[in-house]
Amino acid sequence: MTRSAELPATRDRLIAAMSDALQRRGYHGVGLSELLVEAQAPKGVLYHHFPGGKTELAIAAIQSAVSRLTSALDRLIASGADPVAALSAWMAGAEKQLEKGRFEKGCPLATVALESTAEDETIRGEIAAGFAAIRDRLSSALVASGVVPAKARALSTLIVSAYEGALMQARVAGSLAPMTETASALLQLIQSELDAVKGIR
C-alpha cells in the first residue's frame, strides 16, 4: 500500500476512534494515548493530520457526526417523505443505533456539550453550529410543507431538544421507551401542525 493510499485510511481511523470516545465518554474522558491505540496510529501521524492535536481531532469527529445526521435527513426528505415520515424514520434509526451500542453510545454533540466548559470555546462553537445545521434541515422541510418560517424554526428547536433529551434518558435507563414515547408525541404534534396548514380538523 502506498503512503498516499494509507494516510486517508489512518485519518479516518483517528476520526472513528474519537467519534466512539465522544459518544461513550465525552471529550475530557479520553486521553490521546488511548485514542492512538484504538486507531492503531502513532502520535506523529496524529499531528500530521491534526496539527491542533486532540481538539482539532474532536472537531473533525463532531463535523463527521453532524454530516451523518444531516445526510440521513437529506436522504429522507429527498425521497419525498413528508416531515412526519422523515422524522419517524430518523428517530427510528437513532433507536437502532442506541440499541446496537447496548445503550453505551449517546449523541456525541450532547455528550460533549454537557461536559464542556468556558475553556472549550472552539468545541462549543462547533457543537452549536452542528445543532443549528440539524435545526435548519428540519425547519426547511417544515416550511416546504407549508408551515410558516417562525413556527417551523420553533418546532425544529423543539424536535432537536426533545430528541437529545430522550436519547439521554434512554441511554441511562437502558430502555428505548423514552425515545419511542417522545417520538410518538413529536409526530402527533407535527402531524397536527401539518393538518392545520391543510385546513384538516
Give tens-digit pLDDT for 43-81.
Answer: 888 999 999 999 999 999 999 999 998 998 888 888 877
Q: Residue 7: pLDDT band by 50, 70, 90 thresholds?
A: very low
CA 111 to chain centroid, in Å, comes to: 10
pTM: 0.87
Range name among 16-20, 40-44, 128-132 with the lowest pLDDT average:
40-44
**Helix, strand, coil percentages, rounded to 5, for the chain:** 80, 0, 20
- Segment (H or E) for 49: helix 43-49
Angle at 192 between CA 67 and CA 197, to 5 degrees: 90
Whether 144 contacts 156, CB under 8 Å: no
183, 91 contact by CB (below 8 A): yes
Domain locations in the chain as residue ranges: 3-198
Sorted by sequence, the CB contacts under 8 Å of residue 186 that are 6+ apart come out as 87, 91, 158, 159, 162, 163
CATH of domain 3-198: 1.10.357.10
